[in-house]
Amino acid sequence: MTTDPARPFGRVLTAMVTPLAEDGSIDLAGAQELAAHLVDRQSHDGLVVMGTTGEAPTMSDGEQHAVLEAVMDAVGDRATVVAGVGTYDTAHSIERARSAAELGVHGLLAVTPYYNRPPQAGLLRHFTAIADATDRPVMLYDIPPRSIVPIQVDTLVRLAEHPRIVAVKDAKGNLGDVAWTLARTDLAYYSGEDMLNLPLLAMGAVGVVSVVGHLVGPRLAELIAAVESGDLVKARAVNESLLPVYTGVMGGGQGAMMIKAALNAMGLPSGPVRPPLVDATPEELARLRTDLAAGGVAL
C-alpha cells in the first residue's frame, strides 16, 4: 500500500470487474481470486472496486458490500482498495461511503452524479457531503462522456480545499482543464482514460486507474516509470505498443464487456455481464483477439 502523500492511492490501479456466476449472481470467490491475481501477478498497487467497469449500477447495496468485504479480505493487507460509492443521489452516496468505510477500505471513489445533471453548486455540495461523511480520502471521478456534467476547474479548486478530497480520476478528455487544475491545486491526478495515459502522465498525473490494467499491469508501471525518469522516447514506445490493447478493450466504449470477454478467454474469474450490457459476440471476441495479439497479449 502506498505511503506517498503525493500518490495517495499508488501508481497502477485497475478498475476491477465484478466476477459473476453464469446465472448472474455474484462470484465472491472469483472476486478474491481475481483481486489476488491483479495484485500478485499484475503488479498492481491497488484496485478500484465497484466502479463503472465493476457494473456498480446493476449491483444492490448488499452485493456491493459483500464484494468489497471479499476483496478487502483477499488483498486489503497489501494493496490499496478504493470503493466506488458515487450515485446520482447524495444521501445514497453517503450511505454507501459509510458502509465501505466500515469495512476498512483505504479510499472512496465518487463519480459525478449522472442523469440529473446538477449545476456546479450541486456538485460542490454533493462531493463535500461525501467527503464529510467518513474519515477516508476521496478520489473524484470526472467523466462527462457518461455523466454529461464536467467538474469545472473553479469547482475543483474549491473542492481541493477539503482535507479529504485528495485526487481526481480524469476521463474528461480536456487536457487544458487538467493543466489548469494541476497548476491551481495539489490534487493528485490519475488517468481514467487509457488512450490518454501518456499525455496525462506527461502533464503531471501520478498514476492510472485502468481497465486494460487487468491484462498489462507491469507495462503500465513501465510507462509511468519512463515518464517520471524523463525518458519520453521509451515512454512513447511503451505507449505505442499498448495502443492495440487500448483500442481492443475500449474502442467500442464498453470496457466492461470486452475486458470480461478477455478474462474469460484467459480462464480468469469474470463470467457474464449484467443487463443492460450484453456479452461480447463471437465476432467481437475475434476482433479483440486480433487487437490484443497486436499489443502482445495472447488470449
Which residues are catalytic, by number? 141, 169
d(CA 42, CA 45): 9
Distance of CA 150 to the CA centre of its chain: 17
d(CA 3, CA 72): 18
CB-based contacts of 25, cutoff 8 Å, min separation 6: none
Q: Which among 22, 81, 85, 76 has a CA at the least distance from the CA of 51?
A: 85
Which class for 186: exposed (0-12), middle (13-18), buried (19 or more C-beta within 10 A)?
A: exposed
d(CA 189, CA 74): 27
**CA torsion through residues 197, 46, 206, 152, sign:** positive
Cis, peptide link before residue 19, omega less than 30° from 0: no
d(CA 100, CA 93): 11
* Residue whose grid cell is 508501471: 221
Contact 104, 66 (CB under 8 A): no
d(CA 260, CA 273): 8
Q: What is the dihedral of CA 155, 160, 161, 166, to 10 degrees?
A: 150
C-alpha cell at 158: 474549491
d(CA 177, CA 166): 17
141 backbone dihedrals φ, ψ, rounded to 5°:
-120, 105
Bridge partners of residue 49, in order along the sequence: 83
